[in-house]
A and B are shown apart, each in its own frame.
Chain A
Amino acid sequence: MIQMQSVSKVFRTDVVETHALRDLTLKVEAGEFVAITGHSGSGKTTFLNVAGLLEEFNGGRYTFDGQDVSRLTDNQRSRIRNEKIGFIFQGFNLIPDLNMYHNVEAPLHYRGMPGPERHRRITAALDRVGLSTRTKHIPSQLSGGQQQRAAIARAICGDPRVILADEPTGNLDTTMSNQIMELLLQINAAGTTILMVTHNPELAQRAHRQLHIVDGKIDQIHHFRPLQSPQVVASHAL
């Protein structure tokens, strides 16, 4: 699903050059749940941004869902983000003056999806995360956990191939964190590939694999449980 070969990313200013990713090589299979850990400034978020086509990279080769993304136009990258990638952020990143329904609806608009189909997907996604009774609420009227569940609904409503989660439980207490993790595991069990940046080792151990990043390189890889075969993943999805 995701294949990076010696990918590097350098941030340059007039006076300083920061190597955020150094020859990063990685392969993530479809249906895999990968936890990414590392200290602050190790390059986790940069990795996720590059993986999510939010930032371009300076060197190496990156293939997403079988497609070399290094030569894509900005519009093509936007389309892939819209159709194949779902994002979950630590700060939830909901649009403050939109209610839950319209927050979840946002990515579907950019796909040009007809209204009835949008409504069906939004209702299903909010129902799946347990927020079907909160559709009219704006973010400030919900708890942190509810907001993050709304962000998850937004991420899954477009039926993406991959979800990229940047510390999705970072702003939540333990109980909420576990609920969100359960939700992500259910989504993964249904066949969606998940890459999750986390500082929480307990949550990381519930993934199939944990990649530990140090100074922009993968330093360690821990395998916690095997990835099910595609056929099994497909049956979960059904």
Chain B
Amino acid sequence: MLIHDLRLALRSLRRNPFLSALMIGAIAVGIAASMIAITLYHARSGHPIPWKSDKLFAVTLDTRDDEPPQSFERHPEYPPFQLTYRDARALYASTIPAHAVMMYRSAQVVTPPPNKSAKPFGVSTRVTTADFFTMFDVPFTYGTGWSRAEDEAPGADVVLSKFMNQKLFGGANSIGREVVLDGRPYRVVGVLAAWMPRPKYYDLNNSGGIDVPEDIFIPFGWMRTGKLMSHGNTNCVSRRAKIEGFDSLLTQDCVWLQYWAEFRNGADRDRFQVFVDNYANAEREHGRFPRKNNNRVVDVQAWLGMYDVIGDDSRMQLVLGFVFLGVCVLNTLGLMLAKFLSAAPISGLRRALGARRIDIIRQHLIEVIVVGLLGGAVGMTLTLGGLAFLKVLMFSSMLAHSDNPDRVALVQSLVHMDIPVMAAAIMLSLLTGVLAGLYPAYRIGRLAPATFLKTQ
């Protein structure tokens, strides 16, 4: 019977191709609008490291004055998202976490190897303590990270991203090779495999979550020796604080370091929260931390939520997408009602021949499902076109002057319909078709069979 109803549905669609095309078009446009919004939302709402969701925690301290010079208007209830050097060092002394990382974003100039004819070029670097690679499960193609000892007494070691190793050494095993950064030679101890956490959760302050990992990773111990300035956001949280060169970064109440900890279990996490609060209480006695304790040790999802990675724009797009889809459903409903009523005499005839109400309703529902699926197929094509257009519109500046294929891949991933989104599109198409057609199908099924027989 289903095959029979499917044949009838296709015949019915062919009977009035213009009206059918209008209905399919209306659903397609609605699906495309909502799927583009869902795709953009989905790209920002993923969990970048779900297998460690109960172990990884971002740490923040509320070191602000009562009237800090920097504005935190959007969420004044949240503490600053970064730490001062002094506070980070104090927390780093704790042995409660299994791993801990303090780090910041910097930038250096690379002098290419002598056999390369390229000119020196700038790179983004991450100055970090050793646990970064272990804690964030960073994959390596060659070698490993450096030892924790080098965070205090630096060895001249660096880790390259896959892209940088490709650029400098053609992708070959470069362990032991030399890289010159700002005129100082470093030895390569590790080369990363492809790695692109999305969002870039470990440093939301400098990217909003939409960025590729850094090109080169440098031991934290080099910070003082090399006077490696921060190239990320730096906010002073005290009116007295003032940045005057590298050394003031280490002493002033200005936040510029990201801090993460990994715990073995929830009890350790709770102990660390107590440790952090006790530290703040002790500092308060020395005139810092004038506010009540508002120190947070939050997991990745909460961290992304605090920073509002998804953003109001994405949420608004999602709402508008679904509102537009609703309008399209209503339009399709009207068209379907008109179409079904115009064919009511045939339904009346089928009722006379023995069709039950449910047979008529089912037959029409199958037709609306076919319309929904066809609309969904066209809508997916429109979605792909729309996403390609958005890629040019929204991310062209991000891709301009970049030879980093990871950046292209990142943009691609932001406007890419993955399997779950495609499955959602199919379900949405079905749902849209049924929503638009349920009432018309019900109406036509309720008509008395004799009503239209004379006029058929």
Binding site for B on A (CB under 8 A): 45, 49, 52, 54-55, 74-75, 78-79, 81-83, 87, 89, 91, 93, 95, 97-98, 106-107, 109-112, 154, 158
Contacts and interface: CB of A to CB of B under 8 A. Distances in A.
B353 interface: yes
Contacts of A97: 11, 14-15
Contacts of B349: 93, 95
A3 B354 CA distance: 21
A107 B354 contact: yes
A76 to B, nearest CB: 10
Interface stretch (B211-219, B376-384, B448-456): B448-456
A37 B225 CA distance: 114
A111 B448 CA distance: 20
Nearest to A107: B353
Nearest to B446: A74
B352 A52 contact: yes
A106 B450 contact: no
B352 A91 contact: no
A74 B15 contact: no
Nearest to B450: A54
A49 B450 contact: yes
Nearest to A73: B356
B353 A87 contact: yes
A111 B354 contact: yes
Contact of B354 (A91, A98, A110): A110
A91 B454 CA distance: 7
Contact of A78 (B1, B354, B456): B354
Given A55-B448, A95-B349, A112-B1, A79 B454 contact: no
B444 to A, nearest CB: 14
A79 B456 CA distance: 22
A54 B453 contact: yes
28 contacts: A49-B450, A49-B453, A54-B351, A54-B448, A74-B357, A75-B358, A78-B351, A78-B355, A78-B357, A79-B354, A79-B356, A82-B355, A87-B352, A89-B453, A91-B454, A93-B352, A93-B453, A97-B14, A97-B15, A98-B11, A107-B354, A109-B1, A109-B4, A110-B350, A110-B354, A110-B355, A110-B359, A111-B354
A110 B352 contact: no
A16 to B, nearest CB: 18
Interface of B: 1, 4, 11, 14-15, 345-346, 349-359, 448-450, 453-454, 456
Contacts of B449: 54
A95 B353 CA distance: 12
Contacts of A45: 454
Contacts of B350: 106, 110
Q: B1, B349, B352, B448: which has the most chain A beta carbons within 10 Å?
A: B352
A88 B11 CA distance: 24
Interface of B is mostly: helix
Contact of A106 (B353, B358, B448): B353
Nearest to B358: A75
Contact of A81 (B11, B353, B359): B353
A93 B456 contact: yes
Given A81-B352, A111-B354, A91 B11 contact: no
B450 A110 contact: no
Contact of B353 (A74, A91, A112, A154): A154
A195 to B, nearest CB: 15
B370 to A, nearest CB: 16
Contacts of A55: 448, 450
Given A54-B449, A97-B15, A109-B4, A81 B354 contact: yes
A74 B350 CA distance: 14
A84 B438 CA distance: 31
A79 B353 CA distance: 9
A82 B352 CA distance: 8
A122 B337 CA distance: 33
A110 B453 contact: no
A83 B454 CA distance: 22
Contacts of A83: 354
Contacts of B357: 74-75, 78
A9 to B, nearest CB: 11
A111 B454 CA distance: 24
A112 B454 CA distance: 27
Nearest to B346: A95
Nearest to A89: B453
B69 to A, nearest CB: 76
B353 A82 contact: yes
A75 B354 CA distance: 9
Given A78-B351, A83-B354, A158-B354, 12 more contacts: A49-B453, A55-B450, A75-B356, A75-B357, A75-B358, A78-B355, A81-B354, A89-B453, A91-B456, A93-B349, A109-B1, A109-B4
A74 B4 contact: no
A68 to B, nearest CB: 20
A97 B355 CA distance: 18
A106 B355 CA distance: 9
B353 A110 contact: yes
A16 B412 CA distance: 68
